Amino acid sequence: MVGAGPAGSATAYHLATRGVDVLMVDKAVFPREKVCGDGLTPRGVRAIQRMGIDPTEPGFTRVDGLRTYGVDGVVIDLRWPRLKDFPPLGVVRTRFDFDNLLAERAVKAGARFDQGTEARRPVMDGTWVGGARVQREGHEEEVKARFVVAADGASSRFAAHAGVRRDDGRPMGIAARRYYRIPRPQEPVLEAFVNLRDEPTGGVMAGYGWIFPLGDGVVNVGAGLLNTFKRFKEMSARKLMDVFVADLPPEWGITEENATGPVLSGPIPMGMNRRPLAVPGMLVVGDAGGLTNPFNGEGIAYAMETGELAAELIADALAKNRPALAHLYPVLLKERPVHAFRGPARVPQDRPHAVRPHFHGEPHRRPRRQRAGQADARAGLPGSRAMKASIR
């Protein structure tokens, strides 16, 4: 396992619980910071439950739904839907804590974890990726493996050495976040602002701002933008954050004085924008494969789901001594409900809203005004009719 974010730890956990000998390496020493909104929808909660983690334990802040702020003062509250396959529960927890918890679960399940260890490049056994050159404490060594999984996140340099490339025709996002301690009472909802003002045109941007509650008055405030936005090249994540924060009501207290840290930003690779997702001997999971949902930038759940799928296939391939079984991974990814996050292949520039943030749940408060997209909101979780229609 190259990388111990949600993708790496989930893969390692699901391999270890199937009796596979796993070594996970991460160049960082845990716990480590990761720039993120820290929010998990029911999809993400299901993924952590599948690793035996109880989302009601201390450390998680519970959220019961999503509050969306639209243009012209429209506010919609959506409770998480009651569905057979997903719990009606979301949570927020800093990635500093969260990723450490996942890595600990993987270790408890039997995976070995070498921190402060960077995988420099794949070791090739002919055309088969047969391990990795890793560097720790200044010296480099070779680690052999029957399978390698690239879970090295958005930069994905390791996977690139094995020929994985970005597809520029697919969407990409940028986002920034900052923590604040504010006087405003926190409600148990994820707040999303799909009304980011595009000053020069008077329109709205193809992105959204968020405020996610972490408890004790601390909130994660951030904003993200898709590269389908016409003036994307003129924007930066920091500028976007400034636009968003400037528009918030002053009495909410999202001010410089209340910030508890710097603005940090990162890319969001989405819509399966990397390929191939499998090369002989190596599978690519999570952000390394561009496996974030282009409709809302959610990536943790998909990182963990793709990790679980990769683990299932590798364990099966090893048990049956049929290595080719593992390479069904890209095919199965497209067949499973996660295929929904491929997103539209190309977005017409005159219709940037073809890819606008998109959430799922049941409205429980009548909005002040009926608005477009409400039918989508009612349609359920990814894989739903509305989602499928929008990715054709």
Ligand X SMILES: Cc1cc2nc3c(=O)[nH]c(=O)nc-3n(C[C@H](O)[C@H](O)[C@H](O)COP(=O)(O)OP(=O)(O)OC[C@H]3O[C@@H](n4cnc5c(N)ncnc54)[C@H](O)[C@@H]3O)c2cc1C
Which one among 45, 149, 206, 300 touches ligand X, defined by CB under 6 A?
Answer: 300
Tell me the closest approach of the beta carbon of residue 108 to ligand X, in angstroms.
18
Q: Is residue 2 a contact residue for ligand X (CB under 6 A)?
A: yes
Write the secondary structure of 1-46 as one string of H (helix), E (strand) and C (coil). Answer: CECCCHHHHHHHHHHHCCCCCCEEECCCCCCCCCCCCCEECHHHHH
Q: Is residue 131 a contact residue for ligand X (CB under 6 A)?
A: no
Edge-to-edge order in the sheet of strand 148-150: 148-150, 282-284, 278-279
Closest by CA to 377, choosing from 44, 306, 366, 298, is 366
Task: Look at phi and psi of residue 110 and say left if phi exceeds 0, alpha if psi is from -120 to 50, else beta.
Answer: left
Q: Is residue 292 a contact residue for ligand X (CB under 6 A)?
A: yes
Closest by CA to 129, choosing from 140, 121, 138, is 121
Tell me the closest approach of the beta carbon of residue 369 to ligand X, in angstroms.
27
Q: Is residue 4 a contact residue for ligand X (CB under 6 A)?
A: yes
Closest by CA to 347, choosing from 176, 181, 230, 177, is 230
DSSP class of residue 195 equals -
Which listed range, 15-23, 72-80, 174-182, 363-371, lies at the site for ligand X (CB under 6 A)?
Answer: 174-182
Q: Is residue 299 a contact residue for ligand X (CB under 6 A)?
A: yes
What residues between 95 and 124 interact with ligand X by CB under 6 A?
Answer: 118-119
From residue 25 to residue 64, the character string flagging contacts with ligand X as x (rule: CB under 6 A) and all else as - is xxxx-----xxxxxx----x--------------------
Tell me the closest approach of the beta carbon of residue 72 to ligand X, in angstroms.
26
Residue (115 or 384) nearer to ligand X, CB:
115
How many residues in the shown chain lie near ligand X by CB under 6 A?
42
Which listed range, 75-83, 108-116, 170-178, 380-388, lies at the site for ligand X (CB under 6 A)?
Answer: 170-178
Tell me the closest approach of the beta carbon of residue 236 to ligand X, in angstroms.
13
From residue 315 to residue 354, the character string flagging contacts with ligand X as x (rule: CB under 6 A) and all else as - is ----------------------------------------
Q: Is residue 294 a contact residue for ligand X (CB under 6 A)?
A: no
Which CA distances in Å does 80 have to 141, 336, 380, 386?
A: 48, 22, 9, 17
Tell me the closest approach of the beta carbon of residue 30 to ligand X, in angstroms.
8
Q: Is residue 145 a contact residue for ligand X (CB under 6 A)?
A: no
Q: Which amino acid is at 227?
A: N
In contact, 172 and 267? CB cutoff 8 Å: yes
Which listed range, 172-180, 271-279, 338-346, 383-391, lies at the site for ligand X (CB under 6 A)?
Answer: 172-180
Q: Is residue 297 a contact residue for ligand X (CB under 6 A)?
A: yes
Tell me the closest approach of the beta carbon of residue 173 to ligand X, in angstroms.
8
Residue (212 or 313) nearer to ligand X, CB:
212
Closest by CA to 73, choosing from 211, 241, 195, 191, is 195
Q: Is residue 286 a contact residue for ligand X (CB under 6 A)?
A: yes
Which listed range, 14-22, 45-53, 247-255, 287-295, lies at the site for ligand X (CB under 6 A)?
Answer: 287-295
**Which residue's beta carbon is nearest to the bound ligand X?**
299
Closest by CA to 49, choosing from 316, 301, 384, is 301
Angle between helices 95-108 and 6-16 (to 10 degrees): 20
Sign of CA dihedral 219, 82, 293, 281: positive
Q: Is residue 191 a contact residue for ligand X (CB under 6 A)?
A: no
Closest by CA to 212, choosing from 391, 332, 91, is 91
Tell me the closest approach of the beta carbon of residue 350 to ligand X, in angstroms.
27
Closest by CA to 114, choosing from 80, 145, 68, is 145
The residue to which tokens 């999202």 are assigned: 254
What residues between 201 and 240 interact with ligand X by CB under 6 A?
Answer: 222
What distance in Å separates the CA atoms of residue 131 and residue 372, rounded to the nearest whole number?
50
What are the tokens at 102? 């996942």
Interface residues toward ligand X, by CB under 6 A: 2-8, 25-28, 34-39, 44, 118-119, 151-154, 157-158, 175-177, 222, 266, 268, 286-288, 292, 297-301, 303
